[in-house]
Amino acid sequence: MPVSRRLFLATGAAFTASGAGFNLREALDKVESRYNGVRTMQLDFEQTLRYNMQPKASRSESGTLYLRRPGKMRWDYSSPARKLFLTDGKDAYFYSPAMNRVEKTKLKESDDMRAPLAFLIGRLDFDRDFREFRSSEESGKRWITALPKSSKAPYREVRFQLGADFRIAELRVMGQDESVMAYAFRNERMNPEVADSLFRFTPPAGVEIVDLTREQ
């Protein structure tokens, strides 16, 4: 038995699959292989936040996401308002031109619901981060649900929809308060030329800077 397989069995993670002919373990391995083999990525996203206490209340935004390994993300929001969420491998920055404000926090300490996508810029390892996996088919789409190992994670459940070539086409992150951040991805580009300068944040002149790293 391969070492990786023995190590996986030792974790005690649980698997539940549905659908004849679908191998959940094999699918997870292929997703890992796909994303662990890229250096950079660029894709368009639509992000929708739904609140549990107000089921009809939701907010949708869209823009372009850039990823660069190791540890760098840039979310350029273009609609309905311009804003920026950026990680440089160490710290995370959230910049709102409308508020003329920048918040800086340590990436590892961030409770932002975009954080689960950080696995795309590190090394994707489902066995390390999740304790249980479930598979289901809904309206012809294959969904995988993953439950985090850590009770301190800012989310209680992650669901992703497998697209062609084992890409993550949609992602839904349920927070501890049962709010749901949903992402739909399209126009994915693997290993495009992405300048490292995109992941360096320089505050505009006159902007208010709130440095939360000093409190962490």
- Judged against a pLDDT cut of 70, whether residue 180 lies above it is answered with yes
* CA 98 to mean position of chain CA atoms: 25
Q: Quick check: 1 pLDDT over 80? A: no
Structure confidence at residue 14 (pLDDT): 67
Digit-coded pLDDT (tens) for 137-171: 999 999 999 999 988 877 889 999 999 899 999 99
pLDDT confidence of 9, banded at 50, 70, 90?
very low
pLDDT of residue 12: 47
Give the count of beta carbons closer than 10 Å to the beta carbon of residue 206.
6
Residue 35 CB contacts under 8 Å (≥ 6 apart), including other chains: 119, 120, 124, 168
Residue 107: its pLDDT value, please?
Answer: 75
Domains in the chain: ranges and CATH: 12-215 (2.50.20.10)
Residues facing 138 on adjacent strands: 141
Hey, what are 202's tokens? 């320089």
**Which pLDDT belongs to residue 53?**
58
Q: How confident is the model over 87-136, as pLDDT tens digits?
A: 898 898 999 999 999 999 887 765 554 555 655 666 778 888 899 999 99
Looking at residue 11, what is its pLDDT? 40
Lowest mean pLDDT of 29-43, 98-112, 193-207, name the range: 98-112
What pLDDT is stored for residue 120 in this prediction?
A: 62
- What's the sign of the alpha-carbon dihedral 173, 10, 30, 92? positive
| pTM of the predicted protein model | 0.80
